[in-house]
Structure 1
Amino acid sequence: MNFKKLILLIGGILIIIAGIFAFNFYNKIYKPNTKQEGYLYIPTSSTIKEVEILIQPFLKKVKSFVWVAVQKNYPNTIKPGKYFISEGMNNNELVNLLRSGKQTPIKLSFNNQDSFQKLAGRISEQIEADSISLLKAFTDTEFISKAGFNSKTSIGMYIPNTYQFYWNTSAKKFQEKMLKEYNRFWNENRIKKAKKLNLSKNQVITLASIVQKETALVKERSIVAGLYLNRFKNKWPLQADPTIIFALKQQAGDDLVIKRVLTKDLSIDSPYNTYKNIGLPPGPIAMPDISSIDAVLNPAKHEYYYMCASITSIGQHEFAKTLSQHNRNAAKYQKWLSKQGVNR
């Protein structure tokens, strides 16, 4: 074989080798590598090794992903969050997504919780922040004071609803957004209605929490709100059983189950005892729903001053204008409870 042919042969072999290398590089970068779709959760302060373990179920070839990630400096730019992985993504697309931090928002929701412990537990199920850090944020006295609340009213800052968050939201960021949402909720129209009732925002929330606990029926809430406002305006004690239950639980613990408020309970020494004290308690007894808050701001106009659970329409109430009428309703209800064997 002459020298010229040898050069051509070597050149051809090098071209083939280069082609193979180029093909392999191309495949590592651009060949589809995800085998399923789903959400990838990357915790704060994750390392590339930890991401490798988390992402493994989505990939056909983990090593090629890691190689591309290293080439694109991803190990030094890891951003936590919730990311949607599509089936058929190549490593370049995948690394670009994770580097960008363009995570998928979540819809976070909570209903009317009656303690910060329960709220922390509910929220920690939906975002990265744990219940301990959330509870610490909720009870941060400096934040509470700056936001215009105190330890007894601050629970009213959290309006039950569905909100958009990022999964890796910290406890502090969650709290800050809740304050913004609270201020957004109290728009000009609601503030105007509260002033017309001569109530502060905290007073509206407090009364709404009683309405919330008093009835599960949204259609009754404006009637119940009107009843308590009739009492409040005339300086009558509210005589709301849910406040007695709240006071009893404060003393005995949240695990206490009360299905029937007894006469002896009405003498409990507590600022939340609305049988002994005139006016509203010092703060909400739970987080009221928007429907309960708006019921207070838009109360039904009537002359009812008394209410009692109905024995004919379970879940509803019998309303009365006079004490004698109420006593008849109450006697029927107490007799019915005894028949059901409800002693506590």
Structure 2
Amino acid sequence: MTEKKRGFRKAFSIIFILLLILGIIAAWIGYQVFMGPSITDKQEYLYVKTGDTFEDVVRTVSEQQIAKNPAFFRFVAETMEYPDNVKPGRYKLTKGMSNRHLIGNLRGGYQEAVKFRFENIRLKANFAALLGKNFEADSTAFIAILDNEEVATSYGFTAANFFTMFIPNTYEIYWNTAPNKIVARFHDEYNKFWTSERKEKAAAVQLTPQEVSVLASIVKGEALHTDEMPAIAGLYLNRLKKGMLLQADPTVIFANNDFTIRRVLNRHLTIDNPYNTYRYKGLPPGPIMLPSIASIDAVLNYKQHDYIYMCAKDDFSGYHNFARTQAEHLVNARKFQRALNERNIMR
């Protein structure tokens, strides 16, 4: 073999090896760009808002340090034709996720639903604020629906009792779901909750499902312990049957719109408000808070007894002393008032 041929083969081998190395490097870089761990643990979710463009998504990824290399993220997104397939949603991020995996989720709209749980909600404004915190729409969009009499009527409620349609529980709902569709979902769940059995029990105590929920809101306001709810419900049902004033302190607090009240005084009882059950007979026009499932079922499965009075125990255990006569009740009430005085609870 001539020197010239040997030199040519050597040069060819060197070039081949260099190309092979470059190919391996390119493949490794390509793997890292597409399949390698690219997502950080800086954020738990990537939120893509309704109307966001591809550039908005890239800006979010960069500003929130979601991708280790935003330029690589952009390259993979463009390669996978994501710029023309941006879909709003709440997308789960995991440390070490690849660009290809994330962009595949984004392109397909494979978002993770919000596990929305609510309980112990007092006012519509509180509920709207919680909804606005958990979903894309802000609280003003939700309160506009909750306060809309036409919407309430369309679902078979009044403006006053519309709040009873929302059954406290855990719901899986997509983050970017429109407020009106979220409310429609709650209505579907309400209909599922009010089974024929529950409706029959409501009819047995001569109450509509909405009225049961209104009474349940009072029971929840009175009861610190779930196991006492059926007894409290039975007491109020006894009062309703007798045509007596309910005289429920939680309704007075609601009517006064002062939730700092710890001791209901005579001056609180004078307010002229349909929620003041010391002045107005029967149930108030709407709930004083969102009733829990436990309180609703406590009304439907109330404890049968002949008590018509109750007063919180003076040991501040959260339980109540029940009484059949006003004389018995006054003894219990004086004990509790004395305990309040001893602890200097004057309002």
TM-score, with structure 2 as normaliser: 0.88
Q: Is 1:109–1:161's contact at 8 Å kept on the other side of the alignment? A: yes
State the match for 2:113 in structure 1. Answer: 105
Instruction: Name the SS of the counterpart of 1:78 in structure 2.
Output: coil
Deviation at 1:7, TM superposition (A): 11
Q: How does 1:15-54 map to 2 (within 5 A)?
A: 28-36=33-41, 38-54=44-60
State the match for 1:151 in structure 2. Answer: 159
The sequence identity of aligned pairs, in percent, is: 40
1:230 aligned to 225, 238, 242, which one?
Answer: 238
Instruction: Name the SS of the counterpart of 2:46 in structure 1.
Output: strand
1:177 aligned to 162, 178, 185, which one?
Answer: 185
Instruction: Name the SS of the counterpart of 1:264 in structure 2.
Output: helix
Instruction: Give the partner amino acid of 2:235.
Output: L
Q: Is 1:110–1:123's contact at 8 Å kept on the other side of the alignment? A: no
Instruction: Name the SS of the counterpart of 2:47 in structure 1.
Output: strand
Segments of structure 1 that go 5 or more residues without pairing to the other structure are 250-254
2:331 aligned to 320, 328, 331, which one?
Answer: 328
Mark the CA change 1:6 to 1:146 in structure 2 (over 3 Å): closer, same or farther. same
1:279 aligned to 262, 282, 291, which one?
Answer: 282
State the match for 2:3 in structure 1. Answer: none
Deviation at 1:239, TM superposition (A): 1.2
Mark the CA change 1:18 to 1:317 in structure 2 (over 3 Å): closer, same or farther. closer
Please give the root-mean-square deviation of Cα atoms over the aligned residues, in Å.
2.8
Q: Distance in 1 between matches of 2:169 and 2:337?
A: 36
Segments of structure 2 that go 5 or more residues without pairing to the other structure are 1-5
Instruction: Name the SS of the counterpart of 1:108 in structure 2.
Output: strand
Q: How does 1:252-263 map to 2 (within 5 A)?
A: 257-263=260-266
Partner deviation per Cα, 1:160-211 (whole Å, 9 max, x = no partner): 1221112222322221111111111111111111011111011101100110
Instruction: Name the SS of the counterpart of 1:58 in structure 2.
Output: coil
1:62 aligned to 70, 77, 97, which one?
Answer: 70
Q: Distance in 1 between matches of 2:214 and 2:93?
A: 45
Mark the CA change 1:87 to 1:277 in structure 2 (over 3 Å): closer, same or farther. closer
Q: Distance in 1 between matches of 2:169 and 2:128?
A: 15
Instruction: Give the partner amino acid of 2:38.
Output: N
Deviation at 1:264, TM superposition (A): 3.2
Instruction: Give the partner amino acid of 2:298.
Output: A
Q: How does 1:1-344 map to 2 (within 5 A)?
A: 28-36=33-41, 38-56=44-62, 57-249=65-257, 257-344=260-347
Q: Distance in 2 between matches of 1:307 and 1:14?
A: 90
Deviation at 1:16, TM superposition (A): 8.6
Tell me how many residue pairs correspond in the alignment: 339
Q: Is 1:43–1:80's contact at 8 Å kept on the other side of the alignment? A: yes
Mark the CA change 1:227 to 1:66 in structure 2 (over 3 Å): closer, same or farther. same
Mark the CA change 1:17 to 1:194 in structure 2 (over 3 Å): closer, same or farther. same
Q: Distance in 2 between matches of 1:172 and 1:340?
A: 48
Q: Distance in 1 between matches of 2:67 and 2:256?
A: 55
Deviation at 1:306, TM superposition (A): 0.3
Q: Is 2:253–2:259's contact at 8 Å kept on the other side of the alignment? A: no
Mark the CA change 1:68 to 1:303 in structure 2 (over 3 Å): closer, same or farther. same
Q: Is 2:243–2:282's contact at 8 Å kept on the other side of the alignment? A: yes
Q: Is 1:204–1:296's contact at 8 Å kept on the other side of the alignment? A: yes
Instruction: Name the SS of the counterpart of 1:125 in structure 2.
Output: helix
Q: Distance in 2 between matches of 1:102 and 1:172?
A: 22
Mark the CA change 1:217 to 1:15 in structure 2 (over 3 Å): closer, same or farther. closer
Deviation at 1:19, TM superposition (A): 8.1
Instruction: Name the SS of the counterpart of 2:134 in structure 1.
Output: coil
Partner deviation per Cα, 1:57-91 (whole Å, 9 max, x = no partner): 23232212211212322122111222223344333
Q: Is 2:112–2:174's contact at 8 Å kept on the other side of the alignment? A: yes
Mean Cα displacement is larger for which, 275-284 or 29-38?
A: 29-38
TM-score, with structure 1 as normaliser: 0.89
State the match for 1:252 in structure 2. Answer: none
Instruction: Give the partner amino acid of 2:315.
Output: T
